[in-house]
Amino acid sequence: MQQYSGFGLLKHSLSYHENWQRVWSNPTPKKHYDVVIIGGGGHGLATAYYLAKEHGITNIAVIEKGYLGGGNTARNTTIVRSNYLWDEASHLYEHSLKLWEGLAQELNYNLMFSQRGVLNLGHTLQDMRDIERRVNANRLNGIDGEVLTTAQVQEMVPILDCSTNARYPVMGASWQARAGTARHDAVAWGFARAADALGVDLLQQTEVTGIRRKDGAVEGVETNRGFISAGKVACVAAGNSSVIAKMVGMELPLESHPLQAMVSEPLKPILDTVVMSNHVHGYVSQSDKGDLVIGAGIDGYTGYGQRGSFNVVEHTIAAIIEMFPIFSRVRLNRAWGGIVDTCPDACPIISKTHIKGLYFNCGWGTGGFKATPGAGHVFAHTIAKDEPHPLAKPFSIDRFSSGELIDEHGAAGVAH
Amino acid sequence: MLLIHCPYCEEMREEEEFSPAGQAHIERPLQPEDISDEQWAHYLFFRKNPRGLHHEMWLHAAGCRKYFNATRNTATYEIMETYKMGQAPRVTANEEGQS
Ligand SMILES: Cc1cc2nc3c(=O)[nH]c(=O)nc-3n(C[C@H](O)[C@H](O)[C@H](O)COP(=O)(O)OP(=O)(O)OC[C@H]3O[C@@H](n4cnc5c(N)ncnc54)[C@H](O)[C@@H]3O)c2cc1C
Ligand SMILES: [Zn+2]
């Protein structure tokens, strides 16, 4: 793998940047792989990378029906944080945040990971009690967090309407300084490049249409490019997970919903942190390019159309203008939707199944981008050892019958 | 924005008057104490979540406040029919050759 560096940039400028190595190859499928990963989003690619790097399994294919990172990985609003309420979720997301902190160096790829902090606003007394409880829980788990007063919030974000005239006055906020944003595409590309270098086959434009089984164990996958035999099959298909599960007659505790986001025209730097509000239901940050990145809540109906209803966009914009009256004349450039796989307890499923050699990583819903490295890391362990990574164990699909749900609706909500 | 026909009001109204209420025709087990935890979990949490035809409940929240059913294509969002609670759908997955 060609190393990227400032010196390399200089050197290649002498040959007009025409001699850069291809970032990854485009192989023809082999007949057999030890592990086939369905879904070439950030999670699938991270899984392949950690399987190869930490478990020495390199005969792997990542099968992607479109292009790498073209699903929710390309569509999310890139917020990374770990201030969840319950121990199980906190540990998992914090594991991921710690990996983020060294990831650009490890992958030799600029992920534009920016720890600009995340504010979660409180607008009612109950909001503030919940925030205090969550920040205390975070600190007990060794995760950084602070409760800020209205004055402190105002000092941090001068353009936020913190006056008592606001319809939902800001009463304070939780603050996680190590949280922030990252470049979504770069994460997929960085993992893809590193996995490719370790010998992983990245098969794009290849759709899995069936999963072949024999005597309760997987044999391989049917694709539009023929049958590919596999020792193990790992499904990482986000919004399409139920469609994959149906191929083996399984139902999952998931519903796929459209989730929308939008960006404005580029502006000069005006917002240097991430502001989220569960109460008025909207959140915003400013990308390095200058556009405001604005996120909504899910559309209530299920849908695979990668678009949602316009009224959701209107509600979101109303919430943003309520918080930031100064944005009222900003023009929006683009709006889009992704399909998110939501779980009844707003927590993911990282699990073996009753079929030998079949694994699922899904249910991340509105908030799995932040978990990309962490999820890939613990899922790779689960696949390689055929037993759950200790951090993944509470997220087994069995929790729905044992009753050990991990209710993160409070810390997930609109807050992705 | 979807336009939805409420079978009780017998009118086409805008989506914002309604709220979706998930998969339709889920039957509560008659003897919960006789079934396994897995079956109970299935009833509570597991869903068909199909890509294609879906029978689902909607509430006419800002109208007659009644629940009704709809058959909708979750890939195109086309609503094929709406029908009253207790009625059976006329459009079903097999007829359409879709799943
Ligand atoms: C609008 C929006 C905003 C969001 N904001 C945030 C945020 O701020 N912070 C955060 O943490 N999370 C956020 N999320 C959630 C986050 O994007 C997802 O949880 C995460 O990206 C999931 O990653 P993934 O790799 O599992 O899925 P994806 O990137 O969706 O990858 C799944 C891949 O599987 C492929 N696939 C599906 N079926 C098949 C098949 N049959 N054969 C082959 N390939 C198949 C798809 O083409 C796709 O590329 C947001 C999501 C959306 C939609
Ligand atoms: Zn009505």
What ipTM describes this predicted complex? 0.94
Question: Is residue A356 pLDDT above 90, yes or no?
Answer: yes
**Is the shortest distance between the CB of A81 and ligand 1 below 6 Å?**
no
Q: Which residue of A has its CA nearest to B54?
A: A302
Q: How far is A366 from chain B (nearest CA, A)?
A: 17
Annotation: CATH topology of A113-180+255-342: D-Amino Acid Oxidase; Chain A, domain 2 (3.30.9)
Q: Could you tell me if A249 lies within 8 Å of chain B, comparing CB atoms?
A: no
pLDDT band at B93 (very low <50, low <70, confident <90, very high): confident
Predicted local distance difference test score (pLDDT) of residue A173 = 98
pLDDT digits (tens, 9 = 90+) for A230-259: 999 999 999 999 999 999 999 999 999 999
CB-CB: which of B2, B51, B77 is closest to A243? B51
Distances A65 to A26, A79, A236, A237, A365 between C-alpha atoms, Å: 14, 26, 12, 10, 20
| Ligand 1 pocket test, candidate residues A72, A244, A379, most atoms within 8 A of CB | A72
pLDDT at A415: 55
CA atoms lying within 13 Å on the CB side of residue A341 = 32
Domain boundaries, chain A: 6-78+184-253+345-402, 113-180+255-342
In the predicted model, is pLDDT for residue A149 greater than 80? yes
Asked if B47 has any chain A CB less than 8 Å from its own CB, the reply is yes
pLDDT band at A289 (very low <50, low <70, confident <90, very high): very high
Q: Does B3 touch chain A (CB under 8 A)?
A: no
Q: What's the average model confidence in pLDDT over A114-142?
A: 97
pLDDT digits (tens, 9 = 90+) for A10-49: 999 999 999 999 999 999 999 999 999 999 999 999 999 9
The yes-or-no verdict on residue A66 having pLDDT over 80 is: yes
- Summarize the confidence of residues A190-200 as an average pLDDT: 98
User: Is pLDDT at A416 greater than 90 in this prediction?
Assistant: no
Fold agreement between A6-78+184-253+345-402 and A113-180+255-342:
no
Residue B98's pLDDT is: 46
Instruction: Confirm or reject CATH 3.50.50.60 for domain B3-84, answering yes or no.
Output: no
pLDDT for residue A303: 97
Distance B88 CA to ligand 2 centre (A): 18
Q: For ligand 1, is residue A122 a contact (CB within 6 Å)?
A: no
Q: For chain B, what percent of residues have pLDDT higher than 70?
A: 94
Chain B residues whose CB is inside 8 A of the A403 CB are: 37
pLDDT at A411 over 90: no
Percentage of chain A with pLDDT > 90? Answer: 95
Does A256 contact B74 at a Cβ distance shorter than 8 Å? Answer: yes
Separation in Å, CA of A96 to nearest CA in chain B: 27
A38 CA distance to ligand 1 centroid (A)?
A: 12
What are the domain boundaries of chain B? Answer: 3-84
Q: Give A33's contacts (C-beta < 8 A, 6+ positions apart).
A: A59, A60, A61, A201, A228, A229, A230, A231
| Band of residue A371 on the pLDDT scale cut at 50, 70, 90 | very high
In this prediction, residue A412 has a pLDDT band, given cuts at 50, 70 and 90, of: low
Which pLDDT belongs to residue A297? Answer: 87
Question: Each residue of B55-89: pLDDT tens digit?
Answer: 999 999 999 999 999 999 999 999 999 999 999 99
Residue of chain B with shortest Cα separation from A313: B1
**A160-180: pLDDT as tens digits:** 999 999 999 999 999 999 999
**CB-CB neighbors (< 8 A) of B36 in chain A:** 401
- Say what the pLDDT of residue A409 is: 86
**A328 pLDDT above the threshold of 70:** yes
pLDDT above 90: residue A400: yes
Domain spanning A6-78+184-253+345-402, CATH architecture: 3-Layer(bba) Sandwich (3.50)
Average of per-residue pLDDT values in chain A: 96
At B94, the pLDDT band (50, 70, 90 cuts) reads low
Please tell me whether the overall predicted TM-score, pTM, comes out greater than 0.95 for this model: yes
Q: Is A310 on the interface with B (CB under 8 A)?
A: yes
